[in-house]
Amino acid sequence: MIRTILHYPDKRLREHGARIAEVTPAIQQLIDDMAETMYAAPGVGLAATQIGEKVALFIIDIADEDAPSELRVFINPEIIERDGEITWQEGCLSFPSVQEDVDRAERVTVRAQDRDGKPFELEADGLLAVAIQHELDHLNGVLMIDHMGPLKKRLTHRKMVKRAEEQAST
């Protein structure tokens, strides 16, 4: 089922994802819904908090459009190592049509659980590392706008508030 993606300035985007104690059928259904939602958007990552679910879960698929899906599920993720620095132009499904250069670690090691609750560690670089950091920010209530300078932050905030007002009036 395709879920509604929350758009900034929705206050629910600031809520933190709570640790998932057990991977239940309901969590697996949430993963399926998130994947369907992300692909329909389309996007390369989606955190549960972006659809109003306050759990520590995000998904990522950075496969090219013509390539087979490489859906990755991260339950209770934590970055245990960061290395290097990279600036990447990021977009976000909660900030439609906004692009921003964000400084991130170039490489990360993340520890999480997969769709079945099995623990794993993954070393990532490039787009995958950036996506992991971006989605983990969401689970901690940190948004793309928080990485912007004061002027860009003000302009983006105004643009998103205006967009929300226009959508509310239609």
**Residue 98 within a domain:** yes
Q: Is the pLDDT of residue 170 over 90?
A: no
Q: How far is CA 130 from CA 12, 88, 161, in A?
A: 23, 7, 26
CATH number, position 15: 3.90.45.10
The whole domain housing 57 covers: 11-168
**Residue 41 within a domain:** yes
Indicate which residues carry an active-site annotation.
Answer: 135
**What pLDDT score was predicted for residue 67?**
87
**Residue 3 within a domain:** no
Q: What's the pLDDT tens digit per position in 20-32? A: 999 999 999 999 9
Number of domains in the chain: 1
Neighbours of 36 (CB within 10 A): 13
CA-to-CA distance for 21 and 34, rounded, in angstroms? 19
User: Which pTM value belongs to this model?
Assistant: 0.96
Six token digits for residue 116: 């079945």
Q: What's the pLDDT tens digit per position in 104-145? A: 999 999 999 999 999 999 999 999 999 999 999 999 999 999
Q: Is the pLDDT of residue 64 over 90?
A: no
**Residue 5 within a domain:** no
